[in-house]
Copies of this chain bind each other. A is one copy, B any other.
Amino acid sequence: MNLQDAINVLKEKGYKTTGKRKDILEFFASEDGYRPAKDLIVHLENKYGTISFDTIYRNLHLYHDLGILEKTDLEGEKHFRLSCSHHHHHHFICTDCGKTKEIDICPMDTATAELTNYEIDDHKFEIYGRCPACLNA
């Protein structure tokens, strides 16, 4: 999912493409890892001086509902990143910088065998640690 894809999704669904909506997408396009709302707020305050929480969180939820952003709960804060829509995979997440690396292993195919009679709605497989760049810094 890139910037233009995301804007197209917005338009297709009839949402308005405001300047701030584009700013938010650009922010996530320029990062390649999970970022908390806080970072987005700082980024937009640099540009606008002030930004409404409502704008931040409403759009984060909207993008998540539209599949534009992926979300994960890390230490009591929700973190977001642009969705990787090309194929199903999981992530290593650097706990220092938030950058991610794709992991092309999904254990669900074998795991479901242990879950007959269960309804499965979602799953999460994440690996935490420090990336090579942060290890060298």
Contacts and interface: CB of A to CB of B under 8 A. Distances in A.
**Copies per complex of this chain:** 2
A60 to B, nearest CB: 13
A137 interface: no
Interface stretch (A2-10, A16-24, A46-54, A106-114): A106-114
Interface stretch (A26-34, A61-69, A80-88, A118-126): A118-126
A123 B118 contact: no
A23 B44 CA distance: 47
Contacts of A120: 92, 127-129
Contacts of A110: 105
Contacts of A122: 127-129
Given A92-B118, A118-B92, A125 B103 contact: no
Nearest to A131: B118
A104 interface: yes
A74 B115 CA distance: 21
A125 B124 contact: yes
6 contacts: A92-B115, A105-B111, A107-B107, A115-B129, A118-B131, A124-B124
Interface of A: 73-76, 78, 92, 95, 101, 103-108, 110-111, 114-115, 117-132, 135
